[in-house]
Amino acid sequence: MPVPYIRLATSHDEDALGRLDRATWSLLHSVQPRPEPPYEPFFTERFGPRDHLVAELAGAVVGFLRLGFPTPLECNAHVRQIQGLAVADEARGAGVGRALLRAAQAEARRRGARRLTLRVLGHNTPARTLYESEGFVVEGILPEEFLLDGTYVDDVLMGRFL
C-alpha cells in the first residue's frame, strides 16, 4: 500500500481542497449546514494555504488538515488547534488521517507550539479512536452542545502536549 505524501498546501490546491471538503461533508463531523452552490472559497482571509497540510496518494489530493490558533490571544500562542480534517472516502484505511495528524504535530512543534488541541463531536467514534491512538486525551466535554438533525451531540475537547 502506498504511503501518503504530506505537504503544505499552495494556492494551486484551492479547487481540489474545496471539492474534497464538500465531498466529505457529514453530520458525523460537521456542525455547519451542507455546502450549497455558489460555494465559498476554500481559502479565506482567516485560513490560507499556510494553514493547511495536504495528503496525496499517487499524486491525487486525498486529504487535508487545517492547523490554526484556538484564539487570537498572545498568551495562547503556544497552542495550535486542528480546525478541520478530511480524508476522501476512497483513501480511508490507507493511513491518511494518521499521517496528517503526525505531520500536524511536527508542523506545530516547528512553529513553536507546546500543545495541540482539537474539538470532535461525541458521536464521531472513528475520529476519537484515531486521536486517542495518537496521544490525544479528552480534556473536557460540553454536553449536548449541538442539535444536529434532531439529536443533541456532545462537543469533546481533546489535546496533547508536543
Strands 60-68 and 52-57: antiparallel
Q: Which three cell numbers stand for residue 69?
A: 490558533
- Closest by CA to 52, choosing from 13, 5, 110, is 13
Structure confidence at residue 113 (pLDDT): 98
pLDDT, tens digit (0-9, with 9 covering 90-100), for 132-146 = 999 999 999 999 999
Q: pTM of the full predicted structure?
A: 0.96
Calpha distance 150→13 (Å, rounded): 35
Does the structure show a pLDDT above 90 at 73? Answer: yes
Across the range 98-123, mean pLDDT stands at 98
